[in-house]
Structure 1
């Protein structure tokens, strides 16, 4: 059976990751910094309560 197709880019990434194993840890650290956040549901609730509903007509001159 033939091996499944792998693009040149996939092969390149695998090669670079094998040459630079520290990249995996740096990638995890970057993800934790930007994406892995604890959600404060109380803050989300207060934000939703403080939001002003949009005007039904975007060009209404009586907007405040």
Structure 2
């Protein structure tokens, strides 16, 4: 049996006061979301240096084998 949402598509039954405030604030101040995207790009979209990747791979320690008991 498929569940039918009682109040129409996409409508939520309850939305807290804080969520209402935050959604209203973001509607009135779209520059906040633009700043968030810029901050995300600064942190995550950094240029990749192939030499630093090679140095990291060479400095990597090989894992030692952990011997456990084998059950027959």
Indicate the residue corresponding to 2:46 in structure 1: 37
Structure (1 or 2) with the larger CA radius of gyration = 2
Give structure 2 stretches of 5+ with no counterpart: 1-5, 65-72
Q: Distance in 2 between matches of 1:17 and 1:40?
A: 37
Aligned residues: 54
More helix by share: 1
Q: Distance in 2 between matches of 1:36 and 1:8?
A: 35
- TM-score by structure 1 length? 0.57
Question: Once the 2 structures are TM-superposed, how far is the Cα of residue 49 of structure 1 from its aligned partner?
Answer: 0.9
Give RMSD over aligned pairs.
2.4
Q: Which has the higher contact order (CA 8 A, sep 6+)?
A: 1
- TM-score by structure 2 length? 0.53
